[in-house]
Structure 1
Amino acid sequence: MEVERVQEIASNLSKGTIPEEFIRTMTEQPGLTTVQGTVLEVPIIDLRDPDEQKVLKAIDDASRNWGMFQVTNHGIPEESIRNFQEVGKFFFELPQEEKEVYAKPEGSKSIEGYGTKLQRELEGKKAWVDHLFHKIWPPSEINYQFWPKNPPSYREANEEYTKHMHGVVNKLLRLFSLGLGLEEHEVKKAVGGDDLVYLLKINYYPPCPRPDLALGVPAHTDMSAMTILVPNDVQGLQASKDGQWYDVKYIPNALIIHVGDQLEIVSNGKYKSVLHRSTVNKEKARISWPIFFEPPADLEVGPHPKLINEGNPPKYKTKKFSDYCYCELNKIPQ
Structure 2
Amino acid sequence: MAEARQSVQALASSPGAAIIPPEFVRPAHERPGATTFRGDAPAPEIPVIDMSLSWPAAGARMAEAARDWGIFQVVNHGIPASAVAELQRVGREFFSLPQEHKSRYAMDPASGKTQGYGSMSLQQKDNHDKKKTPTTWVDFFFHNVSPPAMVDHRLWPGSGSDNGYKEANEEYARHVQRLTRELFGQLSAGLGLEESAMWEALGGEDVVLLQKINFYPPCPQPELTLGVAPHTDMSALTVLVPNDVPGLQVFKDGRWHDVRYVPGALIIHIGDQIEILSNGRYKAVLHRTTVSKDKTRMSWPVFVEPPAEHAVGPHPQFVTDENPAKYKAKKFRDYKHCKINKLPQ
1:151-188 CA distance string (max 9 Å, x none): 11111111111122222111100011111111111111
Contact 1:200 1:290 in 2 (8 A): yes
- Following the alignment from structure 1 to structure 2, what is the Cα–Cα distance between the partners of residues 227 and 200? 10
> Structure 2 residue aligned with 1:295, among 303, 306, 327?
306
Q: 224-233 or 101-110: which moved more?
A: 101-110
Deviation at 1:106, TM superposition (A): 4.4
Partner of 1:135: 144
TM-score normalised by length of structure 2: 0.93
> Structure 2 residue aligned with 1:84, among 79, 84, 87?
87
Deviation at 1:201, TM superposition (A): 0.9
Partner of 2:258: 247
Contact 1:45 1:58 in 2 (8 A): yes
- Following the alignment from structure 1 to structure 2, what is the Cα–Cα distance between the partners of residues 108 and 25? 34
Q: 204-213 or 150-159: which moved more?
A: 150-159
> Structure 1 residue aligned with 2:272, among 261, 265, 268?
261
Partner of 1:9: 11
1:31 aligns with 2:40: no
Amino acid at match of 1:142: V
Deviation at 1:327, TM superposition (A): 1.2
Q: What SS does structure 2 have at the residue aligned with 1:124?
A: coil
Amino acid at match of 2:170: E
1:111 aligns with 2:114: yes
1:46 aligns with 2:50: yes
TM-score normalised by length of structure 1: 0.96
Identity of aligned residues (%): 50
- After superposition, residues 155-174 of structure 1 pair within 5 angstroms as 155-174=166-185
> Structure 1 residue aligned with 2:197, among 169, 173, 186?
186
- Following the alignment from structure 1 to structure 2, what is the Cα–Cα distance between the partners of residues 11 and 261? 36
- Following the alignment from structure 2 to structure 1, what is the Cα–Cα distance between the partners of residues 109 and 233? 24
Aligned-pair RMSD on alpha carbons?
A: 1.5
1:218-270 CA distance string (max 9 Å, x none): 00000000000011111010000111111110201101000000000000000
Partner of 1:146: 155
- After superposition, residues 209-288 of structure 1 pair within 5 angstroms as 209-288=220-299
Contact 1:40 1:248 in 2 (8 A): no
Q: How many residues align?
A: 333
- Following the alignment from structure 1 to structure 2, what is the Cα–Cα distance between the partners of residues 235 and 104? 28
- Following the alignment from structure 2 to structure 1, what is the Cα–Cα distance between the partners of residues 258 and 113? 32
Deviation at 1:2, TM superposition (A): 3.1
Partner of 1:312: 323
Q: What SS does structure 2 have at the residue aligned with 1:52?
A: coil
